[in-house]
Amino acid sequence: MHLNDLPTPCALVDLDRLERNATRMADRAHALGVRLRPHVKTHKCVEAARIQTRSHFGGITVSTLAEARGFAEAGFRDITYAVPIAPQKLTEVVEINSRIDRLSVLVDHMVTISAIEEKARSHAIVLPVWLKIDCGLHRAGVDPESAAALALATRLQNSVDIDFRGVLTHAGQSYDAVDREGALAAALEEHAVTLAFLERLAKANVHVPETSIGSTPTASAVENLDGIDEIRPGNYAFFDVFQNAIGSCTLGDVAFSVLAAVVSVHPEEQRAVIDAGALALSKDPGPTHVDPDCGFGRIVTIEDQHPLPGLRLTSVSQEHGEIEGPGTAALRPGTQLRVLPNHSCLAAACFGNYQVIRGTEVVDEWRPLRGW
């Protein structure tokens, strides 16, 4: 089938681009001397994760227990759930962990460690746990310079109920960068904070088995990862308008897009409406810190994904995407357009299936995992 024949709105995954993005990051990880544990939250899709892990050890990172469950069922055996674990989720963690080599969880609080120990003891097992530190994002993670960080690491090392996997962080502040240099600065911070914490722990006789860092912007920019064991970028599988704006990729690298159809045209006011709104593209505002007029996605040609600068997607409501610009003069009800989303992770999560294309031919359909 030609992609023009697909119903709209629909999600397109460009397999050539996905494979190219995956190979490039896998090669980067090899060159940097680190393992690649891709974050699969961007696509939540077994087929894409298999492509991403091709030349690496097969470990993945997930953002929900639904992903952990689904990827475990599909044969992935080493999974890190990279959101600090809520104690009430431990029953399911134990269940999934028992079926694979390892479902590792993150902690940044003593209450959670106690809950994990209690759960592990009640099942007479040992649970794999990472210590999450904050390298500057100030979201989750313990401050690595705090007394609490040292106490948590010591407790994890000494716990008989816990398999202490190591120290993990995520420089999400790289998304505040305005270019590749800014992302590199975040990468250096992520790296340096981790190494400084290792040194501090070494002085306190805490041995850290492994270190895990990374995001797509930092993993794309960094040139040296001495002392680091693995990286966990995720968005690079698809990339998006945001990653392009901060220098992680070109627009030509973006492997996820949304096919839409024009439903209303008002050429006299240089306006039109497409059938892809907030439920197909998300309401992610995009890289407004780089381009205040970025709108809600970039409109590109159907055939070869070239930007159409005469069309700007200025607003989205539930099922309407509003387009402005002189390019609207060429639109009619039914005209198809292709939109590169601001944030592919959020846009992809809108869809129950992805139409997989090579060029303009639909070659497969993939079903992402959803929910929690």
Binding-site ranges for its own copies (CB under 8 A): 7-10, 41, 63-64, 83-89, 108-109, 111-112, 115, 132, 138-141, 143, 172, 261-266, 269, 271, 273, 275, 278-280, 282-285, 317-320, 322, 332-334, 345-346, 349, 351-352, 370-372
DSSP class of residue 251 equals G
Minimum distance between the CB of residue 173 and its own copies, rounded to whole angstroms? 12
In this complex, which beta carbon is closest to its own copies, that of residue 90 or of residue 225? 90
In this complex, which beta carbon is closest to its own copies, that of residue 18 or of residue 276? 276
Minimum distance between the CB of residue 370 and its own copies, rounded to whole angstroms? 6
d(CA 4, CA 1): 8
Minimum distance between the CB of residue 42 and its own copies, rounded to whole angstroms? 9
In this complex, which beta carbon is closest to its own copies, that of residue 247 or of residue 321? 321
CB 261 within 8 A of CB 245: no
- Residues paired with residue 58 on neighbouring β-strands, in sequence order: none
Minimum distance between the CB of residue 175 and its own copies, rounded to whole angstroms? 9
Minimum distance between the CB of residue 346 and its own copies, rounded to whole angstroms? 6
In this complex, which beta carbon is closest to its own copies, that of residue 67 or of residue 229? 67
In this complex, which beta carbon is closest to its own copies, that of residue 188 or of residue 261? 261
In this complex, which beta carbon is closest to its own copies, that of residue 34 or of residue 140? 140
Phi, psi of 336 (to 5 degrees): -95, 145
User: How many residues belong to the chain?
Assistant: 372
CB 284 within 8 A of CB 313: no
Minimum distance between the CB of residue 201 and its own copies, rounded to whole angstroms? 20
Minimum distance between the CB of residue 371 and its own copies, rounded to whole angstroms? 5
Can you say whether residue 270 is alpha, beta or left, with left for phi > 0 and alpha for psi between -120 and 50 degrees?
left
Q: What's the Cα-to-Cα distance from 155 to each of 123, 152, 162, 163, 194, rounded to whole Å?
A: 20, 5, 9, 11, 19
Handedness of CA 101, 106, 109, 112 (dihedral sign): negative
Residue type at 166 in one-letter notation: G
In this complex, which beta carbon is closest to its own copies, that of residue 4 or of residue 250? 4
In this complex, which beta carbon is closest to its own copies, that of residue 225 or of residue 345? 345
d(CA 190, CA 137): 10
Q: What's the Cα-to-Cα distance from 153 to each of 28, 80, 118, 125, 148, rounded to whole Å?
A: 30, 18, 18, 20, 9
- 37 burial type by CB count under 10 A (0-12 exposed, 13-18 middle, 19+ buried): buried
In this complex, which beta carbon is closest to its own copies, that of residue 34 or of residue 256? 256
DSSP letters, 253-315, are: G--EEEEEEEEEEEGGGTEEEES--HHHH-----STTT-TT-TTEEEE-TTT--EEEEEEEEE
- Provide the pairing of β-strand 102-107 with 354-358: unpaired
Minimum distance between the CB of residue 264 and its own copies, rounded to whole angstroms? 4
Minimum distance between the CB of residue 3 and its own copies, rounded to whole angstroms? 13
Minimum distance between the CB of residue 27 and its own copies, rounded to whole angstroms? 26
In this complex, which beta carbon is closest to its own copies, that of residue 285 or of residue 327? 285
- Residues paired with residue 21 on neighbouring β-strands, in sequence order: none
